[in-house]
Amino acid sequence: MAHNAVRLDSVFVTTAGEWKLGALDFVGPVNEPPPSTRQTAGFVDANTTDPYMPTDNRLVDSWGLGCLIWEIFNPSSTLKDRAQLIESSYSKRIPKALVNDYRRLIAQSATKGGVKRFTVSQFLQSTRNSEKQGFLANDYVDTLLFLEEIELKDSMEKSTFLKNLATQITSFPDDVCRHKILPHLVNGLRYGSAGVDALLPVLRLIPLLSDNDFQTYVLPCLLKLFSSPERATRVRLLEHLPDFVQHLQTKCIETQIFGPVSAGFTDTHPVVREATVRAMIHLAPRLSTKLLNENLIKHIITLQVGDNL
């Protein structure tokens, strides 16, 4: 199927930064001319030449994608004539890494003879070619594509990806991090598909969140991790407690966090016990007098007695 109306007016952008194509009423078979409703619907000015339509009426979506790229990098101009697509005053604004592939989208011929117009698939393949430093061959695009397929990846691939993501994520757009990347990571932590490696990039995103978003989307996942049977998960969480303790409400600390964390005082593994003691430096100032004088002191005394035996 061909979309037949790829252009800026057909694109809708979600809060997650995803681009969606509308104007689906112009969709038709690939090998047939675009529907005449493009004119009657007022989508194109009936009294002018349609710059979004190639003269040969072939690979219409490829040509339209070229027009869309032109519009993106020439936001203050209006595309009224096909000649504008190749004018240097406009094309010079398109990034150098993209311009050659852009020119293949608006090549005059879709058949044999001359420079052949790219299909959309060929365009994507070329721009994703890392050896040729394609425009879309970068960490940002790689990350978004990996997240879409993360459930199909093996544990080693996920671990490597998430460790790299923790260092890359601060360079990505804030809205994409909040609304696109974070939900994938939180789901991975909640259902165990991402493992503990997803925790660090989640914590890196917390400064971008409002208190309400933190309470709604991240906190339920963290509360579950505090009670995790896996020591490595609990230790990692406690080590990064300073990164998010200021977002925790006092009542939540007293009723939902202190209990599971204090269980670490009696853990048989010394690393867990040490992480628990260190965590109390950040939790103790938020505890009630009763929890401090009765529960916490009791745990510390028991721990000291055990260490002296």
Q: Does residue 15 fall inside a structural domain? A: yes
Range of the domain at 153: 138-208
Is residue 304 very low, low, confident or very high in pLDDT (cuts 50, 70, 90)?
A: confident
| Domain assignment of residue 231, yes or no | yes
pLDDT reported for residue 113: 61
Please give the span between the terminal C-alpha atoms of the chain, in angstroms, as a whole number: 76
- What's this model's pTM, rounded to 2 decimal places? 0.82
Mean pLDDT of all residues in 22-33 = 84
Query: Does the pLDDT of residue 44 top 80, yes or no?
Result: no
Mean pLDDT of 120-143: 95
Q: Which H/E stretch holds residue 21?
A: strand 19-21
**Chain segment 147-204, per-residue pLDDT in tens:** 988 888 888 999 899 999 988 998 999 999 999 999 999 988 887 767 778 888 998 9
Instruction: Work out the mean pLDDT of the chain and round it to a whole number.
Output: 88
Whether residue 1 lies inside any domain: the answer is no
Highest mean pLDDT among 66-75, 102-111, 221-230, 295-304: 66-75
Which tokens hold the place of 150? 């993360």
Q: What is the pLDDT of residues 72-116, one digit of tens each?
A: 999 999 999 999 999 999 999 999 999 999 999 999 876 666 678
- Same domain (yes/no): 215, 250: yes
Residue finishing a domain among 116, 132, 148: 132
**Residue 128 and residue 13 in one domain:** yes
Shared domain for 282 and 224, answered yes or no, is yes
End position of a domain, from candidates 90, 111, 132: 132
In three-state secondary structure terms, 11 is strand
User: Does 258 map to a domain?
Assistant: yes
Question: pLDDT at position 112, please?
Answer: 62
3-state DSSP assignment of residue 73 = helix
Please state, in angstroms and rounded to a whole number, the distance separating the CA atoms of residues 76 and 81: 15
167 within domain boundaries: yes
Rounded to the nearest 10°, the torsion over CA 157, 162, 168, 172 is: 100
Answer with the one of 72, 103, 132 that is the final residue of a domain.
Answer: 132
Residue at 2 is within a domain: no
Listed in sequence order, the DSSP H helices in the chain are: 37-40, 60-73, 88-91, 96-105, 120-127, 139-148, 155-168, 174-176, 182-191, 199-205, 211-213, 219-226, 231-239, 250-252, 258-262, 270-283, 289-290, 297-308
Q: How many domains does the chain have?
A: 3
Q: What is the mean pLDDT of residues 52-80?
A: 93
3 occurs within a structural domain: no
Over residues 23-40, the mean pLDDT reads 75
Domain assignment of residue 181, yes or no: yes
